[in-house]
Amino acid sequence: MTRHFLRDDDVTSLEQREILALALELKKDRFAIRPLAGPKAVAILFDKPSTRTRVSFAVSVAELGGYPLVIDAANSQTGRGETIEDTARVFDRLCAAIVWRTFGQANVERMAAVSSVPVINALTDQFHPCQVLADLMTLAEARGGIGGLPGAKLAYLGDGGNNMAHSYLLACATAGMGITIATPASHQPDPSVVAAAREIALSTGAVVEITDDPHVAVAGAHAVASDTWVSMGMEGEAAERATPFADLQVTGDLMAEAGPDAIFLHCLPAYRGKEVTAEVIDGPSSRVWDEAENRLHAQKALIAWLVER
């Protein structure tokens, strides 16, 4: 059966560890494997803007021996209303995998339902699972390897209802970590995602916590993460989103509460002076550039793992 990666809990704990282990190996020996030799093509489709995802997936496919086809929806028939199913049926005859950044999660689910090749979620309104694979890899590096993930605590401060918050909940639960989301009552995570994370936690030993208190969130955290308060597609709400998250800005003082070894993560793009101060994102605890590079290694491992299934 074709495996897809549409949300973070599409892999088990053990599978997540396998992918992260391969990612760390590929970082040491970038051209060690060529599962897309041929070259086999991978369709990389964008309905929303992107810098890192576009570049890191294109480079991932090239480094695995394949051919990256980067397609903007606006310039393809999907942008004119061709159905997702018909698009999938064409892509899967021609490509070894399909990577898609889109709006609703239902879009990638519809694509996966008919595709005979793996479909990878490159960000939807609900989840950003490839990003969080890279984040876990970055935290593993800071903690001496994948063995350092179970029991480690990640605190996310910001919009609890966005894709990053949801992906942290599922991926950290899968990794057996502590995950604390600090968010105002008005921007809570989707209850079904919290329930899924708590269900996973029962078998992995993860601890899932939701709070509105940034001090509670960062206490004992090994990683502190934030994200924009205005995700793609929410630009119309920018004005009303300026104030509810103000107390959740990641400052130097807040990082000091987390402790000297805590790292700062941000998926980028970042807005200095909003969700994080320049002092933190450009300071010694920041790992955001490693995190951006790790998109490459994590996605190469994911693609290799999926196409070899």
CB 57 within 8 A of CB 118: no
Which of 265, 4, 279, 1 minimizes the C-alpha distance to 137? 265
Give strand pairing partners of 265.
225
Shortest Å distance, C-beta 270 to ligand CP? 10
142 near ligand CP, judged by CB under 6 A = no
60 near ligand NVA, judged by CB under 6 A = no
Q: Which residue is nearest to ligand NVA (CB)?
A: 231
Shortest Å distance, C-beta 184 to ligand CP? 23
Terminal-residue alpha carbon distance, the chain: 8
Tell me which of 95, 172, 227, 241 is the catalytic residue: 227
Is 131 among the residues known to form the active site?
yes
CA-to-CA separations, 82 to 74, 90, 233, in angstroms, rounded: 12, 11, 21
Binding mask 246-285 for ligand CP (x = CB under 6 A): ---------------------xx-----------------
CA dihedral 18, 27, 10, 222 (to 10 degrees): 90
227 near ligand NVA, judged by CB under 6 A = yes
* Segment interacting with ligand NVA (CB under 6 A) among 104-112, 157-165, 235-243, 299-307: 157-165
Is 282 among the residues known to form the active site?
no
267 near ligand NVA, judged by CB under 6 A = yes
Sheet of 97-101: strand order equals: 67-72, 41-46, 97-101, 119-121
Write down the residue that tokens 């008919």 correspond to: 114
114 CB-side CA count, 13 A: 15
53 near ligand CP, judged by CB under 6 A = yes
73 near ligand CP, judged by CB under 6 A = no
231 near ligand CP, judged by CB under 6 A = no
51 near ligand CP, judged by CB under 6 A = yes
Tell me which of 95, 130, 172, 267 is the catalytic residue: 267
CB atoms within 10 A of CB 76: 15
167 near ligand NVA, judged by CB under 6 A = no
Tell me which of 126, 131, 249, 299 is the catalytic residue: 131
228 near ligand NVA, judged by CB under 6 A = yes
Q: What is the distance between the alpha carbons of residues 135 and 116, in angstroms, rounded to a whole number?
A: 29
Q: What is the distance between the alpha carbons of residues 180 and 257, in angstroms, rounded to a whole number?
A: 15
Shortest Å distance, C-beta 9 to ligand NVA? 19
- Phi, psi torsion values for 4, nearest 5 degrees: -125, 165
162 near ligand NVA, judged by CB under 6 A = yes
164 near ligand NVA, judged by CB under 6 A = yes
Tell me which of 7, 17, 54, 101 is the catalytic residue: 101
Which of 42, 44, 39 minimizes the C-alpha distance to 95? 42
CB 9 within 8 A of CB 291: no
270 near ligand NVA, judged by CB under 6 A = no
Q: What is the distance between the alpha carbons of residues 63 and 297, in angstroms, rounded to a whole number?
A: 10
- Phi, psi torsion values for 136, nearest 5 degrees: -65, -35
Residue 227's binding partner out of ligand CP, ligand NVA, none, with CB under 5 to 8 Å set by partner kind = ligand NVA
**Active-site residues: which are they?**
101, 128, 131, 227, 267, 295
Contacting residues toward ligand NVA, per CB under 6 A? 123, 128, 162-164, 227-228, 231-232, 267
Contacting residues toward ligand CP, per CB under 6 A? 50-53, 123, 131, 267-268
